[in-house]
Chain A
C-alpha cells in the first residue's frame, strides 16, 4: 500500500494568513493526488484533483502543487470558512485509495 503523510498535523493561523500543508507519498505517484476539505458535521469536499486542478466552484485562493512524492496545498489568504481539516489522497494505486492523516487548521 502507498502511505500518505501530511505535515503538520495541525496549525493555528489568522484570517488573511497564507497557509501551506505538505503531503508526502511513500512512493512516486506522479500527479495523482487529490485534496479534500472536511468541516465537522459535513461531508468532505473535493478541492483539488490531479495535484493542481481546482475543482469547479472552489475559490482561487486554494492551489495545489507538486509531483512524484511531495505535494502542497496552499491557501493564499485564509478566510473564516477555511477552518477545517484537510486531507490528501493518492489516486495512483488502488486498492486502497489511501488518505493522509489530516491537517487541522485552527483559528489563532
Chain B
C-alpha cells in the first residue's frame, strides 16, 4: 500500500520561503512524477509542479520563478520550496504521485495523495 506523508512549517511571514517535504512509503519510487498541488481557501486546485526520480522538473509557469522541487531518492522523499511568499500563497499544500501508462508527460494522473498541510502567510 502506497502512502505519502508530508510535513513542513504551517505559519510563515511575507517574503519568507515555504519548505515542504513528502515521504513515500510502499511501492517503487521510480517511473512516477512526484507532484505538488495547492488549494487556497475557498478556491480550487492549482497544480504547482512535479519532479521525476532523475530530478527532471516541470513547473507551473505562473510560479516558476519562485519554485524549486527536488528529489532525494536515497530517502524516497521529494520537497517543495516556494520563495518570496505573500498572503496569496496561503493554501493547503498537497503532495501526490503522478502515474502515466505512456512513460512520458502525457496521460499522467494523480493516484495517491498526501494528507495536506495548511500553510498560512501572515505578518
In this complex, the member of A44, A87, A96, A98 whose beta carbon has the largest number of chain B beta carbons within 10 angstroms is: A96
Which residues A41-84 have CB closer than 8 A to chain B?
43-46, 49-50, 55
At the interface with chain A, which of B24-32, B71-79, B102-110? B102-110
CA distance A46 to B62 in the complex (A): 25
Q: Which residues of A contact B108 (CB under 8 A)?
A: 91, 94, 97
- Cβ-neighbour of B113 out of A44, A94, A99 (below 8 A): A44
Q: How many residues of A contact B (CB 8 A)?
A: 27
The A/B interface has a contact count, at CB < 8 Å, of 75
Q: What separation, in Å, do the CA atoms of A92 and B105 have in the docked complex?
A: 8
Given A101-B44, A102-B45, A91:B100 Cβ within 8 A: yes
Shortest beta-carbon contacts, A-B, top 9: A43-B113, A49-B109, A96-B60, A95-B58, A102-B44, A99-B45, A34-B109, A97-B47, A101-B44
